[in-house]
Chain A
Amino acid sequence: MTPRLLPWLLLAPALVALSLVFVLPIAWLFRISLNISEGSGAMVEAVALDSYATLFADDFTWALTANSFRLAATASTGAVLLGYPIALFLFRTRSRFRPLLAILAVAPLMVSGVARVVGWLVVLGDQGLVNAALIGLGLVERPVPLINNWDGVAIGLTESVMPYVILSLLAGFGRLDRSVEEAAATLGAPPWRVFLRITLPLSLPGVVLGWLIGFVLAMSAFVTPRLLGGGRVFVLATEIYDLALESVDWPAAAALAMYALALLLLVLAAYTALTRRIAH
């Protein structure tokens, strides 16, 4: 056995597993996207690009794309802004409760996504806790619409991706050296300047990674836009669901899924190129 072959042999089990779990289903999905859907909804075996032609000729596809990008950017930015102080605290604290606090920060991951969304329906609904408090305090007369719209989806999605963002930030805080911050403080820099000139730049790789992970997760999220959107929030994931399970147009659903996958791969490629440029 040549030494050049050995790494490939060692990698073989993982490559086979990846092929079975990821490549084959995606290849099957691509194959379906080449079929034709008749007017009756019946799927006809074919090798045609009709579904893609219809997809790209429809203005609604571009609206869905813009909606998905806007929602994913809002949720991941919100998650980074809210998660950053929590992650920094968890990274810095020497409290004996640190492990417990870390578990609490990622606890939402232990609950089903659907259950979390139902929780938000109870909290943010027209008769929910928030509106009851606002009306009780005399701040508003009518319930403020916090669900069944874009605001509700943005809130739910931010909460949904925040644990992942916190974990990414904690992983990215490795380069954060307390002695550099102390040196800046010794030289007279006030805390806000230490944060802006030392802490933030050193933690930036973690911030970018956390934002990216939040963006990718939010971009492909289905449960939150579907359940909290009230039928008013149209993104790529909800449209794929409608095409597959309401309109029963599998070729169109598969074509849209391939398009969404290509968009995510483009985002990841842009991230890789950007980080390489920064590294050099």
Chain B
Amino acid sequence: MRKLALASALAALSAGSAAAQPSGTMTLMAYSGIFQDNYTAVVIDPFKARHPGLEVTYFGPGTSSQMLGLLRSQRSSPQTDVVIMDTTTAAIACREGLVEKLTPAEMPVLDELVPLAREAGGECGPAVTFDHFVIVYDSTKVTPPPTSLKALWDERWRGRLSVSAPPNIQGLVLTAIVERMEGGDYRRGVDRAIARLRELAPLVQTFNPTPDGYSLILNDQVTFATGWNARAQLYHDQSNGRIGVMLPEEGTAFQINTINVVANGPNRAAARAFVSHALSAEAQAAFTDRMFYGPTNARAAPKPEALARTAVDPRYRDRVIPLDWNDIVRLRDAWNNRWRREVIAAGAR
């Protein structure tokens, strides 16, 4: 009888804590710029509306590695509660114990996610967005719209290409795609990709686009650039279609952002509530509709026209090369060296 009473008391306590509204202030660290604007509008604001006693502060230091630097420097006294960062950098944070491990028992929404989302985060926070590699182009100059990556290897575009080289992850993804285009597999080597990219190098204006490839096209500095789909789709709409977006028929690969609860953060209850909200079907669908990131929640139902502009759409799924980012991180230095010595060296201006 005493055991039953104790169990009832524990159950009541547990139910009470689950129902408790997180309050106070919570800090989210994620990308700045258009990501911040859109994420705030469709994910953070609805969350705040549901939790009137909670204030969410958005902090955007820039890149994932800068976020990792902040997490490392604040290890003993974290100032952030939730962090959204690239999967390769998040893996480091997870390995160093800077972010918490999450289980479906504590956070049931994890069971709603597609398997790739859980795999991307390992034991820590799962994928919150799927983006993918694209080629962007000036649609006023390139007609008909290209469908193949091979469109870049054209003397007409000499000095009009912007290619982000490794160690930038766009360059790493491009290497894997070109290797597949040439009939190879990046896991067995990238000799064919490097040889083909050497032929491309003399046509390239910049291997480090400043500020980014989309702006260079809009300012008529280049005609083609490597890019990420979500931003490219947004710039496509904002430029009234001038920025064209190509998902190459040779393939693409996901760039994955994960969401994590910072270990020993100041407002753990709010952090967990926010992560659950961010991964929910509703928030995932809203962000896909708004910014064309692929949803990671299998139950999310974004508008068909928005989903069609992501690589999560069934029509494109067979084009996605299943990159193992742990492999890529290990191969990064070797590929970087080959780009510098063999590719960029062949593209002197």
Q: Which residues of the partner chain A approach B210 to less than 8 Å between Cβ atoms?
A: 121, 226-227
- Interchain CB contact under 8 A, A38 and B167: no
Partner of A245, one of B65, B92, B344: B65
Nearest neighbor of A32 in chain B, beta-carbon distance: B72
- Interchain CB contact under 8 A, A226 and B168: no
Asked if A149 is at the interface of the complex by the 8 Å CB criterion, the answer is: yes
Partner of A244, one of B65, B89, B333: B65
Give the segment of B43-51, B201-209, B232-240, B245-253 that binds chain A: B201-209
**How close is A151's CB to chain B, nearest CB, in angstroms?**
8
Listed A/B pairs (16) with beta-carbon separation below 8 Å: A40-B92, A40-B329, A41-B89, A41-B92, A43-B92, A143-B159, A149-B348, A226-B208, A227-B210, A230-B208, A231-B165, A232-B347, A232-B349, A244-B65, A247-B336, A248-B68
Q: Which residues of the partner chain A approach B63 to less than 8 Å between Cβ atoms?
A: 245
**How close is B139's CB to chain A, nearest CB, in angstroms?**
19
Residues of B in contact (CB 8 Å), total: 35
- Interchain CB contact under 8 A, B159 and A126: yes
Asked if A60 is at the interface of the complex by the 8 Å CB criterion, the answer is: yes
Asked if B148 is at the interface of the complex by the 8 Å CB criterion, the answer is: no
A149–B347 alpha-carbon span in the complex (Å) = 10
Asked if B156 is at the interface of the complex by the 8 Å CB criterion, the answer is: no
- Interchain CB contact under 8 A, B349 and A148: yes
- Interchain CB contact under 8 A, B167 and A148: no
As a 0/1 sequence over residues 31 to 45 of chain A, the CB contacts with chain B under 8 angstroms (1 = contact) are: 000000011111100
Nearest neighbor of A144 in chain B, beta-carbon distance: B349
**How close is B108's CB to chain A, nearest CB, in angstroms?**
29
- Interchain CB contact under 8 A, A60 and B340: yes
Q: Which residues of the partner chain A approach B336 to less than 8 Å between Cβ atoms?
A: 247
In the A-B complex, the 7 residue pairs with the closest CB atoms: A231-B207, A231-B208, A230-B206, A246-B167, A42-B95, A145-B349, A149-B349
Partner of B206, one of A231, A242, A245: A231
Asked if B74 is at the interface of the complex by the 8 Å CB criterion, the answer is: no
Asked if B77 is at the interface of the complex by the 8 Å CB criterion, the answer is: no
Asked if B66 is at the interface of the complex by the 8 Å CB criterion, the answer is: yes
- Interchain CB contact under 8 A, B89 and A148: no
- Interchain CB contact under 8 A, B96 and A248: no
A242–B92 alpha-carbon span in the complex (Å) = 17
Nearest neighbor of A44 in chain B, beta-carbon distance: B96
Partner of B168, one of A41, A42, A121, A246: A246
Asked if A272 is at the interface of the complex by the 8 Å CB criterion, the answer is: no
- Which B residues from 290 to 349 make CB contacts under 8 A with A? 326, 329-330, 332-333, 336-337, 340, 344, 347-349
A229–B92 alpha-carbon span in the complex (Å) = 30
Asked if A30 is at the interface of the complex by the 8 Å CB criterion, the answer is: no
Asked if B91 is at the interface of the complex by the 8 Å CB criterion, the answer is: yes
Q: Which residues of the partner chain A approach B220 to less than 8 Å between Cβ atoms?
A: 127
Asked if A91 is at the interface of the complex by the 8 Å CB criterion, the answer is: no
Q: A232-B344, A246-B168, A248-B65 are in contact. Are A41 and B88 (CB under 8 A)?
A: yes
- Interchain CB contact under 8 A, B205 and A230: yes
